[in-house]
Structure 1
């Protein structure tokens, strides 16, 4: 009923439909229970005309609604072997949803008669079939869909064919000409994830060409199909797509380069952001230049309030935008008002839109094709890049290039490296060859409305909020990787990239999923997650208190209403065979240090420690101290002081030729410098010169940083280390980029350009050591701490309501600070042979 009302709102009825007199059966039909539909169909022809389409629209889920299980013999009699129904009744079936049926579905539908012809008979048996969902069925030969039993009927003008086809995890390899079938010509939603065979040979390299294969395709899901960059780019050549899932494929930054090139050549006009300058700031492009690493050079010009996200009207939705009909021409990019819910590209949602579902009548084909999900859009709005080899810098470059086009973005494990992962350009040498470092640091501003104005759903690595990258060294246990990352990498990330994502950075964002969160923590990770929940509660309170005229006034944004925390699997089993600290002392450094491949000298180098870090080693207490609500705590002592010398990175390879950058050498005798000229060529052939900021100009190579400087001046510590790295390692003078708001917060002058490779090298930790067994045993369960905090705030909120009344308690108000949005906690369970894992709530 709700979906039918939504369809009517999106596509109003015609004048004839609006003025015709309704039958009273049409009014009461949506409220009739599933058990009464079959009985009402037997009353009269009039009743049959009203209730039979609702009964047979989606028959299999209706069987579940009736409580019929596999072992219940009544299931067979109710569904009557669908191929034996009357022709008029079979015309009413719009959905064939076989998900979740554990029986032999071919026996079920065709009574064991001639199994080889089962799917070939769909076009003749169910002519009005719109949705086919065959997920996880191992016995069905889905290749038979391409060769229907009566191909002559497919050429009839009235034939429509299915519009949704989901075959995820089916075990049949599709033939090369599968999608050339006329039966599948009008597919809008296609899911071919986790199927054997190369998708490129089937869909991309079709003899008829991608322009003629599946011309109506809008949503494509291709998880785990061994797609490479070029094949994926060919899929993107289908410009009618608005949702594309490339997760768990061999995707690298090369695909991002190709996408940015395509968007640059297309010259798609984007709306000016000056309209919302006071609230959000504006994009500024002082010169026509850029490079392959960053893209077009630009800055965020901040207003009086935008840098602190404190404008009093930041929660006010945009005024409605009225667009004329372009008569088939693709509509230009439009900024959503912040209240309109974006399209849902899930199989269940599209199935409901196309056939509405059991208990409802089937909408006409013309009404369905007029909906937004079936229309040609201005480009990709839903993009999934989970578990790929895309770097965080490349992802940010794509978001900036799309400039507000994305409405949903997922990338749970971006590589924390600068530059492109293409041939001839390697990651910084301070990252060990046996380790993978993933996360997204210093790029929270990319998801602000000034750049991502339409973004409403975001799934990203948890470091977006926690500033904690994920370390995966192959010669260390998972628990050791967690301890090392939180102890040595997190303090440096807090200094080099002090700005993390907070809810008020983008009040238009409704759903945020933080992925790959470690299950155990020394305490600081827990504190950051708790702080984020408190900020979400503070945003909720601020939205409630925002004054808006009750009559004909502007509407308010909803703010962040859904937070999902996805945790990694259990890691305590790593302690079973953990080597005791005493025996570690007998090992050589190369046996327990995964940074043994560094080619560095222990020359006099300054240390780098945040002001919040103490001098004591990590605490080994097994219980967290109580916080304000008695549920969680901030264990700042968990991060040890970085008192050892910073090992300098080895020289990095020269920049890629496509960057077209020429650097002027440092003056050999000059000791006080702040800028270095950098000459480059942009894509249109225009040469430009930018002064790249090289630091304070006061640091010398041999001047150590004192403990007092580290404690009192954290910004100067980062700047001095950046300067020292540029002096000592000229190969780090690569990847020029404009200073972001995060760099400015760390001490870079606003409006400057920096060498991103050198700034990233500031993250290089000192000589690392193994944790002791006691330190690992003292790590705390993050899931238990979050659940305890959540339960504590809920109890305090409910108690305050009892004392003051429901109307007397403000949302998110201390001391309860309870956030009333939907918080989900999920765990990724990795099964044998399944590297992707599954989530349970």
Structure 2
């Protein structure tokens, strides 16, 4: 830990030249149970070992095997009643960790006679206390911390105050003026998750409005506090935060759009991507325009290698950055080199940094406050948005707007469509009001280094990899929802969004968690997960084979080293009560009809309106054949692993179905464009030619033969012809995923019409036999993992070496594969690690 602190903050000159006592060298290797007796040897020994003994006494007592029962505490001879602890000893206690202990420990420390004064005595009893952890204590009145017993001691120049306060799942409500207490003015880490009552709105500033109440706050966790957009907006204006957890609240797209100005340094220019153009591509902004749905219009300009993620130097880390003034003003945002380990915002690590433990001597307050975790002011780098009402489009808009500073991002259940099922937003007709559709489709490019340059840890919905959205219809069982999503929605998702995330899209990503994976599958979901594991093995092999030109040449990236698969709970219990009364009957039109259950509203009008001027389509755009990764393909070249076959052209439509679309006149090419006018934030108008698909596609629904393998372009055109009033909305630039589906590069499309392609032409209820035929995905993945491991160990035995060449024939990925079952109610996960 001392080494880690020195890496973040170099030692002073005095510390560098100071001669170490040999006791400091051997102290970390001494058994903790001997510390008490070593303190009695001499004053020199007491000076070295007493701070280690009393620094964090409660976890040390548990480590020594002492029980939670208050009657057993007297067996530890050093730990005495508070009244018998001297002032010098009380100053050594830097951490009070009551997690896992009951009221007996509190009674032991504070006498148990007057519990109402227990926490009020902390400031006078332990003047150097830095960390207070009260998680899960149901009887402690945490509000007492705001009113110390001796308030005069808080104004002393030597008063330091706690820097970490964790009160998660405590059952007492905080008073309104809790965060205005001078005792908490130095708080760096604050966790108020799962507590009753509304979060105090005075967290922004003091009543005088002159300063922030918690000016040193850097890490804030507010899970399950029923925060809506308006409530969260009133206390989120704190740009000094670098970690923010808003999980399990009622946050919507409205707050996401304001986060760039509230929590991020949105004015910071994005580092030029031209430096890494050959490897990653570059961002291009051909015009100054945009809308509320997409943000600022921009494209990814691909190089010869970037579209296929196959540049020979894609695993080479960036050159290290050097800052001239390390101790001066806060460092501006800069792209990490890909090898620097990002900061950990877990409570245990922050506690260790602030107060260390018995293994090391406690650092000085000056050294702690100089660490990056306490002085970071570059905007939020760790953001948690799990289980909120945030749409995938809003999440992508946030990531695109930022200069690439996010290092850790979690959003396990984004709403799939931009509708967000709330007033004032376009809502697709085919989604029933009783259903929720979650997922993130067509946005894999958002997590490429060209946009998310610093991203290393990502927790996201599994559809980023599997392309399978989550359907939650209240009138259907969980198993039925899984079967319908995999049978009907997955093929449509593959049609509209053929590009999924693969490890080589971002070799700088180290940890990926796929959340909300269905426990049972008909087979396609399992094959997609196994395919991803094989791609991770291929990346690991490519990293191993990447040659460095010289011994002192550039370092290599690590690639994806940790994959966590979070599965939904068991769902087959409801199959016993399943009545198969209409196994082969089609669903009623009111269930999943494209035109059912929808009410028009003025808010559904598109941001960009068609221009009345003549069409001016770019005739240079030509159709292009792409593989699943958005790469230009060669007919004679072999398809990459897991690549989908190019969509076959749809059969020519019947003459009666061929309808000329007005105002979409046919052009010399098979594409048509519609000029649309919009207004950007600066008030200036702009015009973009929006691509409307094929000029010869019909407006009639596809036949049963066409529905099996439709064409994305013709389907997009048909939807625009069928309902131009509603679906000509949400103009956006074509992404690499759209280009892979057949959209001309550099074009603009109507995202509302493209999203409507997810609507299946028809759906039906599953039969009991079909539901019984779904098998456990965890069992299948475990069997695959065991097979690759056996093949890998066999290769080791054959060659007689410990390290063998990765890849063929075993395809074993040597990273950490963690499989867990998701527990929504508790908000935590219990998992098993598969090496």
Question: TM exceeds 0.5?
Answer: yes
Q: What's the secondary structure of 1:499's corresponding residue?
A: coil
Aligned to 2:653: none
Distance 1:82 1:798, change over 3 A: farther
Distance 1:208 1:164, change over 3 A: farther
Aligned to 1:417: 417
- 1:80 is displaced (CA, Å) by 2.0
**What is the correspondence of 1:477-496 to structure 2 with a 5 Å cutoff?**
477-496=477-496
Q: What's the secondary structure of 1:186's corresponding residue?
A: coil
Distance 1:128 1:295, change over 3 A: same
**Structure 2 CA distance for aligned equivalents of residues 278 and 479 of structure 1:** 46
- 1:324 is displaced (CA, Å) by 2.5
Aligned to 1:449: 449
- The answer on 1:803 being equivalent to 2:798 is yes
Aligned to 2:815: 821
Q: Which of 11, 14, 19 is equivalent to 2:12?
A: 14
**Structure 2 CA distance for aligned equivalents of residues 210 and 311 of structure 1:** 53
- 1:526 is displaced (CA, Å) by 0.6
Aligned to 1:644: none
**Structure 2 CA distance for aligned equivalents of residues 577 and 728 of structure 1:** 41
Aligned to 2:380: 380
- The answer on 1:729 being equivalent to 2:723 is yes
Q: What's the secondary structure of 1:595's corresponding residue?
A: helix
**Structure 2 CA distance for aligned equivalents of residues 804 and 336 of structure 1:** 39
Aligned to 1:254: 254
Q: What's the secondary structure of 1:354's corresponding residue?
A: helix
Aligned-pair Cα RMSD in Å: 2.3
- 1:203 is displaced (CA, Å) by 2.5
**What is the correspondence of 1:441-590 to structure 2 with a 5 Å cutoff?**
441-549=441-549, 551-581=551-581, 589-590=587-588
CA contact (8 A) 1:281 1:306 kept: yes
**Structure 2 CA distance for aligned equivalents of residues 385 and 290 of structure 1:** 25
C-alpha distance after superposition, 1:416-440 (max 9, x if no partner): 1125665322421111111000000
Q: What's the secondary structure of 1:788's corresponding residue?
A: helix
CA contact (8 A) 2:136 2:167 kept: yes
- 1:104 is displaced (CA, Å) by 3.4
- 1:589 is displaced (CA, Å) by 4.6
**What is the correspondence of 1:392-431 to structure 2 with a 5 Å cutoff?**
392-419=392-419, 423-431=423-431
- 1:659 is displaced (CA, Å) by 3.6
- 1:664 is displaced (CA, Å) by 4.7
- 1:265 is displaced (CA, Å) by 9.6
**Structure 2 CA distance for aligned equivalents of residues 800 and 445 of structure 1:** 36
**Structure 2 CA distance for aligned equivalents of residues 182 and 704 of structure 1:** 69
**Structure 1 CA distance for aligned equivalents of residues 484 and 550 of structure 2:** 54
**What is the correspondence of 1:657-696 to structure 2 with a 5 Å cutoff?**
659=607, 661-664=609-612, 667=662, 670=665, 674-696=672-694
CA contact (8 A) 2:586 2:764 kept: no
Distance 1:664 1:354, change over 3 A: farther
**Structure 1 CA distance for aligned equivalents of residues 265 and 363 of structure 2:** 40
**What is the correspondence of 1:234-313 to structure 2 with a 5 Å cutoff?**
234-260=234-260, 267-313=267-313
C-alpha distance after superposition, 1:136-156 (max 9, x if no partner): 000100000000011001001
Distance 1:235 1:72, change over 3 A: closer
**Structure 1 CA distance for aligned equivalents of residues 57 and 441 of structure 2:** 49
Aligned to 2:741: 746
CA contact (8 A) 1:425 1:653 kept: no
Aligned to 1:314: 314
**Structure 2 CA distance for aligned equivalents of residues 74 and 573 of structure 1:** 45
CA contact (8 A) 1:136 1:167 kept: yes
Give the stretch that moved more between structures: 153-162 or 192-201. 192-201
Aligned to 1:768: 763
Q: What's the secondary structure of 1:235's corresponding residue?
A: coil
Q: What's the secondary structure of 2:739's corresponding residue?
A: helix
Work out the number of aligned pairs and report it: 779
Distance 1:39 1:235, change over 3 A: same
C-alpha distance after superposition, 1:533-580 (max 9, x if no partner): 111111111111100145211000011111111110100111021002
**Structure 1 CA distance for aligned equivalents of residues 421 and 63 of structure 2:** 51
- 1:322 is displaced (CA, Å) by 1.0
**Structure 2 CA distance for aligned equivalents of residues 160 and 77 of structure 1:** 33
- 1:14 is displaced (CA, Å) by 1.3
Q: What's the secondary structure of 2:254's corresponding residue?
A: helix
Q: What's the secondary structure of 1:513's corresponding residue?
A: strand
- 1:806 is displaced (CA, Å) by 2.5
Aligned to 1:32: 30
Unaligned runs of 5+ in 1: 601-648
Aligned to 2:56: 58
- 1:650 is displaced (CA, Å) by 6.3
**Structure 2 CA distance for aligned equivalents of residues 658 and 366 of structure 1:** 56
Q: What's the secondary structure of 1:694's corresponding residue?
A: strand
Q: What's the secondary structure of 2:782's corresponding residue?
A: helix
**Structure 2 CA distance for aligned equivalents of residues 787 and 721 of structure 1:** 39
C-alpha distance after superposition, 1:66-116 (max 9, x if no partner): 111224854334232345311111111100011111453321322312111
**Structure 1 CA distance for aligned equivalents of residues 208 and 168 of structure 2:** 25
- 1:359 is displaced (CA, Å) by 2.5
Distance 1:492 1:255, change over 3 A: same
CA contact (8 A) 1:61 1:358 kept: no
CA contact (8 A) 2:592 2:763 kept: no
Distance 1:394 1:761, change over 3 A: same
**Structure 2 CA distance for aligned equivalents of residues 247 and 580 of structure 1:** 39
Distance 1:417 1:717, change over 3 A: same
Give the stretch that moved more between structures: 246-255 or 30-39. 30-39
- 1:686 is displaced (CA, Å) by 1.7
TM-score (norm 1): 0.89
**Structure 1 CA distance for aligned equivalents of residues 509 and 264 of structure 2:** 27
CA contact (8 A) 2:187 2:217 kept: yes
**Structure 1 CA distance for aligned equivalents of residues 2 and 326 of structure 2:** 27
CA contact (8 A) 2:664 2:674 kept: no
Give the stretch that moved more between structures: 73-82 or 672-681. 73-82
CA contact (8 A) 1:418 1:756 kept: no
CA contact (8 A) 1:37 1:51 kept: yes
**Structure 2 CA distance for aligned equivalents of residues 261 and 345 of structure 1:** 23
Aligned to 2:634: none
Give the stretch that moved more between structures: 414-423 or 790-799. 414-423
Q: Which of 750, 754, 763 is equivalent to 1:755?
A: 750
CA contact (8 A) 1:473 1:594 kept: no
**What is the correspondence of 1:108-147 to structure 2 with a 5 Å cutoff?**
108-147=108-147
CA contact (8 A) 2:146 2:181 kept: yes
C-alpha distance after superposition, 1:652-703 (max 9, x if no partner): 6555689464555963584666100010011111211000000011112248
**Structure 1 CA distance for aligned equivalents of residues 595 and 195 of structure 2:** 44
- 1:351 is displaced (CA, Å) by 0.4
Distance 1:698 1:653, change over 3 A: farther
Aligned to 2:645: none
Aligned to 2:655: none
**Structure 2 CA distance for aligned equivalents of residues 27 and 443 of structure 1:** 52
Aligned to 1:625: none
